[in-house]
Amino acid sequence: MYYIETKVASVLFGVEYKTIRRALDRGTNKYTYIAIKGTGRGGKKLLIGITEEQLNEAITGGISIDDVDLYDDAGILLENEARNTVISNSKLKKDAVDVVVIAPDMKPYLNASPDQKSKAILKMELVSGYEARDRRVSAKEYLSTLESRFDEIKPNETKLFRWKKLAQEAKQSGESPLVALLDTRGRAEGSVAMSEEMQDTALRMFVRRDNPLRVSAIYQNMLHKYGDAMCSYDVLNNFLNRWKVKNHSFYAFAQNADKWKNSYMAAFGSLSEKAKFPNHYWELDSTPADIICADGKRYAIIGMIDIYSRRVTFWVDERSSSYSIARLLRKAILKMGLPENVVIDNGKDYQSEHFKSICYNLGITSIPVEPFSGDQKPHIERMFGTLTRELFEELEGYIGHSVAERSAIQSRRGFQHKIESQAAWREEAKKAEKEDFVSKLAIKKDNVGVDLKIPISAEQLQSVIDDWVEHIYEQKKHGSLDKKPIEKFKEQAIPVKGIADPMMLDILLAESFVRKVGKKGIKLDGAEYVHNELAKHVGDHVRVMTTPDMGYVTVYKMNHEPICVAEDTMYTGKSRAEFADGKRMSKRIAKEFARVMEQWEALSRRVDPTIRDRIEAAATKIAPSLPTTFAVAKSTEVIRAVQDGMKAFAASDAKALESSNIMNMEGEKLLPSGRPAFKSRRERLVWDIENDRWDESSQRLADKSPEEYEMALKDIESKKIG
């Protein structure tokens, strides 16, 4: 056994220094120690025992012990030669470890919550970055250079070494490091004992600008609404404080939009410092073009910018979608190579499964910014402004900056009102733009002899943008770079990663799905793809990657082993993107039809006549001519006989009841026969049958009054049916 200083032991064992000292004070047997002369308490220095196996575990876990002082059993510091021998032997043992390669069980990771998965990936990135660092950089120095996104897992040296050890042990045992790094303890940190409805209610009141409320007032209002189900004031207060920290930009905006602009938009330039080489960081975004094209449509501009060099690429499409983003990436990758990171917003196009699969296939890390935080991707935002000022303003069909100006006005309003107002205004703006376009092209007397400029087509707009980028923008000195973007891009000696084969790139940019192979092939988007090889996989689940041609898909096993390229000849040669646009258009048409139908139905229910109106009108029209009907009680001999018999029978029972001394359990008088008094023979007959008291007297009554006997039987049948 050897001995090391206490602080070194805390790092090697992965525990806090204070924990070891407290354990020793309690007289624990967990640590072996000796005391030598030193500068510690009482002039003593504590040394903690460590075995060769523990030294080997520390090295296996990635902890460097080259500079660690080792002491022998007598507390004497080992000479360099002896210490190096011990460390070398431990390293040899580490290199001799057999690694068993087995398929990792990913079920715990796949079943984990999104938050647990995200934190496990961050831990893995942290460990991988530490292993790939320059060995001259200490753990403390490495941690100080981390990006802010790692703050979520609150890293420190002890956690780093523990996570590194877990990842290393997982790899050696054939497990997935992501599973080993999952935090499955209790409720997730930051969660609160509030339902989603309570959280939404609290946030709505918290960010209101028309009637700002203190937390105490919010609590009282929610207590009134939720009663005993309401959480405590401290839970509510802590939830709102955490939300403020996490959404500080949005909270500042809700409090004061002008102050938010001053506070959050003043440091744009610093965001470019994170890009250390070409294609290190790209920013992507989409915006409507301030151009009306020849077909009367206002197209979307999807753009990217390389933060390091400021080189750009644009794509013109009818709308921003995951397909149009894929086209932009294809064009940019063939031109500039693969990016390592892309900064994106929270739009549904960029959060779609298609875009996520693209990033996975190409090994790109996507970095979404906070909602309503365009200031976190300022380069592409400013680039759109440059494109408008330097190019669009001189093109035919330019419609000005009215959209931007209106948006600025709307930004002063509250959040929900802002969204509703913008949506309504955009509809009016689109309508006005189309009307203005039509009026300009209309043949009128006033236009005779006037040289009208016909707006350009979408294809011409794409060509003009590409020429402007290549021949003007990238050849002009950029203000913040003090050189041309193309020169900045080429000045680095680092080779650019790329995909030279456009067909391979098309496959990687395509959507991927998991489908089950049926007897007739693979069904996807209404098509049925077939191939001879699929006959061997009927009933199996496979990975299907689409291609730009609707007629083909590439099929892989679940482990990514290729199977075949399946085909549906009905769709061969047709564009998948156009097909998807057509489906979206059909959905929009169906949605519009449904909206119109709902309006018509609601109006019809209010104003259109119905059968009830016709019945009421007919009744009103016929009522005066109908004779008045009077009800007269019908009397027959049978009816009169039954009525007389009922009276006589009731009087007889009443007289017998007066002289009876028999009582039931409830204290009611009974007849001498044990029966209650009845008002009619019919009632007596019903009682006798139901209580199984049928005797000679019952039979005599039935023979004497067969009509009442028949009615008694009908009463019993009615009770059974009821």
pLDDT in tens, 391-403: 988 888 887 755 4
- In degrees and rounded to multiples of 5, residue 276 shows phi and psi of -100, -10
How far apart are the C-alpha atoms of 268 and 377, rounded to whole Å?
8
For 176, residues 6+ apart whose C-beta sits below 8 A from its C-beta are 104, 105, 106, 109, 170
Least confident of 154-163, 258-267, 285-294, 539-548: 258-267
Mean pLDDT of 538-544: 91
Taking only the tens place, the pLDDT of each residue in 465-510 is 999 999 999 998 888 888 899 888 888 766 778 877 776 777 677 7
Q: Residue 250 is encoded by which pair of tokens?
A: 């949005």
Mean pLDDT of 568-584: 76
Mean pLDDT of 290-317: 90
* pLDDT score of 550: 84
Mean pLDDT of 579-598: 72
Q: When comparing pLDDT for 260 and 154, which is higher?
A: 154
- In degrees and rounded to multiples of 5, residue 529 shows phi and psi of -95, 135
Q: Residue 350 is encoded by which pair of tokens?
A: 């960029």
Per-residue confidence band for 449, with pLDDT thresholds at 50, 70 and 90: very low
Which residue, among 284, 332, 291, has the nearest Cα to 459 in the 3D structure?
291
Which residue, among 69, 67, 64, has the nearest Cα to 48 in the 3D structure?
69
Which residue, among 286, 208, 200, 210, has the nearest Cα to 243 in the 3D structure?
200
Which residue, among 450, 330, 308, 304, has the nearest Cα to 384 in the 3D structure?
304
Burial 252-268 (b: 16+ CB within 10 A, else e): bbbeeeeebeeebeeeb
Four-point Cα dihedral 600, 604, 606, 607, nearest 10: 120
Least confident of 113-127, 206-220, 539-553, 620-634: 620-634
Q: Residue 157 is encoded by which pair of tokens?
A: 């040296």
Per-residue confidence band for 304, with pLDDT thresholds at 50, 70 and 90: very high
Least confident of 51-55, 66-70, 270-274, 339-343: 270-274
Half-sphere exposure of 227 (CA within 13 A, CB side): 1
Taking only the tens place, the pLDDT of each residue in 100-130 is 444 567 777 777 777 888 888 899 899 988 8
* pLDDT score of 462: 93
Cβ atoms of 574 and 550 closer than 8 Å: yes
Sequence length of the chain is 722
Model confidence at 22: pLDDT above 70: yes
Model confidence at 347: pLDDT above 70: yes
How far apart are the C-alpha atoms of 694 and 652, rounded to whole Å?
19
Largest CA distance in the chain: 135
From residue 582, alpha-carbon distances to 292, 586, 589 in Å are 22, 6, 10
Mean pLDDT across the chain: 78
* pLDDT score of 720: 74
How far apart are the C-alpha atoms of 271 and 285, rounded to whole Å?
16
How far apart are the C-alpha atoms of 511 and 360, rounded to whole Å?
11
Bridge partners of 107, per DSSP, are none
From residue 495, alpha-carbon distances to 308, 337, 339, 489 in Å are 15, 10, 12, 11
- β pairing state of 669-670 and 2-5: unpaired
* pLDDT score of 473: 92
Which residue, among 58, 8, 18, 5, has the nearest Cα to 164 in the 3D structure?
58
Helix (H) or strand (E) holding 542: strand 541-546
Helix (H) or strand (E) holding 590: helix 576-607
Bridge partners of 514, per DSSP, are 543
Mean pLDDT of 539-550: 85
268-397+453-490 and 510-574, same CATH topology:
no
* pLDDT score of 208: 80
Q: Is the dihedral of CA 251, 257, 261, 262 positive or negative?
A: negative
Mean pLDDT of 53-69: 72
Helix (H) or strand (E) holding 365: strand 365-368
Topology of domain 268-397+453-490 in CATH is Nucleotidyltransferase; domain 5 (3.30.420)
With respect to CATH, is domain 510-574 assigned 2.30.30? yes
* pLDDT score of 531: 92
Q: Residue 212 is encoded by which pair of tokens?
A: 């700002």
Least confident of 475-479, 513-517, 668-672, 702-706: 668-672
Question: Which amino acid is present at 169?
Answer: E
Helices 233-246, 248-255: crossing angle, 10 deg rounding = 100
Model confidence at 419: pLDDT above 60: no
* pLDDT score of 277: 87
* pLDDT score of 714: 84
Model confidence at 593: pLDDT above 50: yes
Per-residue confidence band for 259, with pLDDT thresholds at 50, 70 and 90: low
Cβ atoms < 10 Å from Cβ of 12: 20
Question: Which amino acid is present at 86?
Answer: V
Q: When comparing pLDDT for 497 and 434, which is higher?
A: 497
Model confidence at 707: pLDDT above 90: no
Per-residue confidence band for 641, with pLDDT thresholds at 50, 70 and 90: low
* pLDDT score of 703: 85
In the chain, what are the domain boundaries?
Answer: 2-95, 107-180, 268-397+453-490, 510-574, 578-618, 637-721
Per-residue confidence band for 99, with pLDDT thresholds at 50, 70 and 90: very low
Model confidence at 21: pLDDT above 90: no
- β pairing state of 341-344 and 281-288: parallel
Cβ atoms < 10 Å from Cβ of 135: 7
Mean pLDDT of 441-460: 56
Helix (H) or strand (E) holding 553: strand 552-556
